[in-house]
């Protein structure tokens, strides 16, 4: 008998929650909004969406959700952060607010708004290693990039920026995945399928 589909939550305090829910459902997960503790307790994995990391950090505090999410991450719940969500998974964040907090789930330093302001948002096709050779359409919106990674971090994709250098924009460390870009705003669901596979592997 096949096992039931994993339940994957999307942190629904702020940001593009709906788009992630839709992609997760499309790849076959049970997708639910997570705003409170009981909702968090019911999920096998969690997506931290794009939006505004400093606002999400403040709302995690207001909703008393910082500690519960940190605890689930530290005890092995798979987590995926896109854009603002990537910032929340970093070990260190450059160019953020003094009162911002994050989860230190991935041994990396990220620079917030690294590609410039809203006007510098862009799209490009990128090969993301574990998704196969077919390039993924990637959308960057006031995106962070990864400045440094520790030895345990697997680099999945990089992009050439206007400074002429390649910058890391997709990483994985154990059960934590992060992308600078927003796969939830395209029709390609491969990143969400990859995360679902991570959740399946962790719950089997």
Cβ-based nearer residue to ligand GLN, 8 or 83: 83
One of 13, 17, 47, 83 touching ligand GLN (CB under 6 A): 83
Specify whether the CB–CB gap between 105 and 93 falls below 8 A: no
Q: Note if 192 is an active site residue.
A: no
Tokens linked to 23:
């992609």
Q: Note if 182 is an active site residue.
A: yes
Angle in degrees, CA 135, 168, 9, rounded to 5: 75
Closest to 191 measured CA to CA, from 12, 27, 6, 22: 27
Q: Note if 83 is an active site residue.
A: yes
> Looking at 20-28, 33-41, 44-52, 187-195, which segment touches ligand GLN (CB under 6 A)?
44-52
Window 151 to 170, contacts with ligand GLN (CB under 6 A)? none
One of 21, 43, 47, 87 touching ligand GLN (CB under 6 A): 87
Residue 12 binding ligand GLN, by CB under 6 A: no
Closest to 53 measured CA to CA, from 20, 14, 18, 91: 14
Tokens linked to 103:
């989860």
Q: What is the DSSP letter of 151?
A: T
One of 14, 53, 138, 158 touching ligand GLN (CB under 6 A): 53
Task: Measure the CA–CA gap between 143 and 112, rounded to whole angstroms.
Answer: 7
* Partners of 137 in beta bridges: 125
One of 109, 113, 124, 203 touching ligand GLN (CB under 6 A): 113
The footprint of ligand GLN (CB under 6 A) covers: 50-53, 83-84, 87, 112-113, 141-142
């Amino acid at each position: 008998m096949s096992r039931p589909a994993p339940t994957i939550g999307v942190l629904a305090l702020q940001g593009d929650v709906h788009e992630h829910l839709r992609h997760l459902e499309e790849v076959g997960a049970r997708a639910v909004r997570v705003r409170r503790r009981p909702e968090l307790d019911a999920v096998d994995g969690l997506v931290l969406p794009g939006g505004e990391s400093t606002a999400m950090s403040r709302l995690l505090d207001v909703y008393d959700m910082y500690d519960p999410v940190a605890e689930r991450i530290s005890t092995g719940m798979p987590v995926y952060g896109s854009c603002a969500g990537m910032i929340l998974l970093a070990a260190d964040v450059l160019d953020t607010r003094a009162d911002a907090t994050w989860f230190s789930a991935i041994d990396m330093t990220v620079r917030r708004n690294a590609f410039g302001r809203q006007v510098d948002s862009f799209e490009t096709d990128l090969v993301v290693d574990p998704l196969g050779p077919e390039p993924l359409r990637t959308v960057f919106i006031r995106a962070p990039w990864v400045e440094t990674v520790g030895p345990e971090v697997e680099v999945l994709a990089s992009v050439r920026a206007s400074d002429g250098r390649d910058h890391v924009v997709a990483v994985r460390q154990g059960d934590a995945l992060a992308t600078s870009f927003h796969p939830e705003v395209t029709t390609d669901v491969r990143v969400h399928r990859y995360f679902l596979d991570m959740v399946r592997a962790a719950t089997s």
